[in-house]
Structures are given as C-alpha cells and as structure tokens.
Structure 1
Amino acid sequence: MFETRPDRDAEVVLLGRSNVGKSTLMRELTGHTFNTGQRPGVTRSPNHYDWTSEDFVLTDLPGFGFMKGVPEDVREDIKTDVVRYVESNAEKILVGILVVDGKSVIDIIDRHSGEDEIPHDVEMFHFLQDVGVSPVVAVNKMDKVDDEDDRLNDLAERLGMYPPWKQWQDTIAPISAKRGNIAALNEAVREHLHEANRDDLFKFF
C-alpha cells in the first residue's frame, strides 16, 4: 500500500496502463520532470506533486496491466495498490484522469472482452464512477490517429456512453501530451472542479 501521500484535502489522480504517456502528461501539467524508468512497470509508487502553499496535490499512480518482463503477481499487486489508493482517498479525489493510448486502446479493449473478462481500462473507468470520483478519459497520442471522430465514438461506446463522443466532452478528452496539446483535458477537468466548487484550482489546469 502506498503511504507517501501528502496531507491535502483536494487531489487529482492520473491512472492508466504502462506506456500510455502518463508521465509526459504529468510533466506537461506541472512543468516538472519526474524520474521515470525506460522500462514499463518501473514506476511502482505514486509520483505526488504538491504546491506547498496550496491544499491540492496532483498524483501520477503507477501503470497497471501488461508489462513486458514484469511477473503477473507483481502486476496484480500494483493494480491492487492503485485501486486501494483511490478507494481510501476517494473523498478527497476530485477527478480521476484515466490516460489511454488513442492509437491502441480500442484493440486492447476488444482483445480483452471475453465472457469473464472486463478490460482494465473499462473496469477502471467504472470503478472511478463507483467510488464517486469523476472520471475524465485523456485519450493520448491523438496526433498519430487519422480517424479521430470514429476512434473516439468507438471508445465512448465501449465505456458505455452513446456516441457521438462530442456530447461527452467533460469525460472524453483527446490530447497529445508530447506535443503539449492538452487543452481539451484542461477544459474537462475544470468542468468537474467547478461542480466541486473548486474554481480556485483552475490555475493548475
């Protein structure tokens, strides 16, 4: 279990599989570079970024799901820790940003949609809703996607939301973190901060 959380009453968390660009997005949001390994699964504990004078923390949680060279039991432990962290801090977490790779997310979801299987991304999306955390799906690497609307409509559908995706812009945010293209995410996060009466946190997004 992660024990490093700064004592803050407001939090936004980043979740997602390994290698979807969470750390790049974190850098884009904070202007701060975090130590990330070149190999998946290297970030095993959360990266917290807090502004000392502010009652707010931004947290990048370790990547979950398949990681090359990482044993399955370790992968499961990481995912369990991520879930427990969100559960135990749910009352303070205003937004859960689920980062997915726009290029591969549909294939990954479809590959893992067996009878007894719920794909990690879909499961995590519904889990956030279940514990009362507003989910925003940051669909990263969209600069590499040609059929943007089709792809986002497919994703909306797989997450249980009727297309067209554009009616869900407070939930689905196409971005390219590497190119600094995250305006759609900032807009979506602000919607939820506003609902939580925390317009004071707009300056971070």
Structure 2
Amino acid sequence: MFETRPDRSMEVVLVGRSNVGKSTLMRQLTGHTFDTGRNPGVTRRPNHYDWASEDFVITDLPGFGFMSGVPEETREQIKTDVVRYLEAHAEKILVGVLVLDGKAAVDIIDRHLEREELPHDVEFFSLLEELGIQPVVAVNKIDKVEDRDQRLDEIADRLGMMPPWTQWQDVIAPISAKQGRIQALQDAVNAQFEAAKQEELKQFFS
C-alpha cells in the first residue's frame, strides 16, 4: 500500500502521531480534500498530491502511535511502513514536516520519558535528521495553548533545540490548521527551499 508514490524527484512529507491534524493541514496546503475524522488512524496509506507540470509531490503519511480500536500489531506495522518510506525516499525528500499537537505533545513526550521509552515524536525528529531530511516542526492546535511561548520553548527543548524557540523559526512553526493559520509553516518550509536552492517550489507554500 506504500507503493503508490508518483514518480517525482522532490517531495515534502507530513509525519506525526495520529489525530494531530495532518490531513487537515494537507487540505489547507493543497486545497484538496482528504479523509479526515475524529477517530485516530483514519489515514492508513500515504496521500500524495502532485502537480502534473511540476517535478514535486507533497505526501501525508499515516499517523503512528496510539489509535483507538486498532491492534498494537497494526499500529507497529504502520509505524514500520512510515520509517521504510522515509528511508526509501530520503534522497528525494527536501523537508519532513513533523506535525505535533501543541496542546498534548509535551505531556505525551514526558510520559514516555518517565517510562524510559523513546517518545515517537523525538524518535521521528531524530530519524529525519539522520536521513538527511530537513525537519520542520508544525506545532498544530496552537490556538488551544494558553502560554504559547512557554509551550514552544518546551517543545524545542524536548527535541534537542536550545530555547528560546524564536531562534528556530525556520524549524518550529506554530499553526492552527483548522483555522487556516499556517503562514509560519509556509515561511519555514520556504526558508528550507531557499537553502536547498529550490526557490521555484515556494509557489506551493505561499
């Protein structure tokens, strides 16, 4: 089910835990409707959106982590498939957008750390870096967070970036996908396109 990738040499992927708003964000970025739902795990296979005239594709990868009503074996297989997709296409992926739930991410990360487990979000941020894929962290649902700067500082810290978060604005992007407030992400991704000397792709994130 992961073999449907269009033949494109440049790609941006969205990765993240289930129910953090990846599909909603994908809809905001592309104007194209994808399956979304209240229940985690609606997206089980990659959603690709490619522009026929451009050598570029944006991909929403399935969510990983806990999914209500989904067996652990299935959850692990989805996560493995996502990792394999990133490994297989790393050379073509310019940016990996790690989507977090700004309200819940720190608590989830800390809960895993207390159990001496590697949190999924930390694991995938490190994996993107190891694969040579530029990570950009889209901190979604930021409208539901009371102390925005403190929360973003905490997220930066958990991902190994020294606070304050404001020095990482080309990596950390506070957004509200549901409200259509995604400019910070567009700016961060476009900064990475510039760094990769692929300015022509900025039209897709503006």
- Note whether the superposition's TM-score is higher than 0.5: yes
> How many Å separate the matches in 2 of 1:36 and 1:163?
33
Q: Residue 101 of structure 1 corresponds to which residue in structure 2?
A: 101
Structure 2 residue 122 is the aligned partner of structure 1 residue 122: yes
**Equivalent residues, number:** 205
Q: Residue 61 of structure 1 corresponds to which residue in structure 2?
A: 61
Q: Residue 150 of structure 2 corresponds to which residue in structure 1?
A: 150
Q: Residue 131 of structure 1 corresponds to which residue in structure 2?
A: 131
CA RMSD of aligned residues (A): 1.0
What one-letter code is carried by the residue in structure 1 that aligns with 2:78? I
Give the unaligned 5+ runs of structure 2: none
Give the unaligned 5+ runs of structure 1: none
Which is worse superposed, 114-123 or 173-182? 114-123
Q: Residue 75 of structure 1 corresponds to which residue in structure 2?
A: 75
Q: How far did 1:115 drift?
A: 6.0
Q: How far did 1:35 drift?
A: 2.3
What one-letter code is carried by the residue in structure 1 that aligns with 2:18? S
> How many Å separate the matches in 1 of 2:114 and 2:146?
28
Task: Give deviations 1:152-182, integer Å, cap 9, x for gaps.
Answer: 0011011011100000001100000011100
Q: Residue 200 of structure 1 corresponds to which residue in structure 2?
A: 200
Give the TM-score normalised by structure 1. Answer: 0.98
Q: Residue 27 of structure 1 corresponds to which residue in structure 2?
A: 27
Give the TM-score normalised by structure 2. Answer: 0.97
What one-letter code is carried by the residue in structure 1 that aligns with 2:135? P
Task: Give deviations 1:119-175, integer Å, cap 9, x for gaps.
Answer: 000000000000000000000001111100000001101101110000000110000
Q: Residue 7 of structure 1 corresponds to which residue in structure 2?
A: 7
What one-letter code is carried by the residue in structure 1 that aligns with 2:60? D
What one-letter code is carried by the residue in structure 2 that aligns with 1:87? E
Q: How far did 1:36 drift?
A: 3.2
SS for the counterpart of 1:24 is: helix
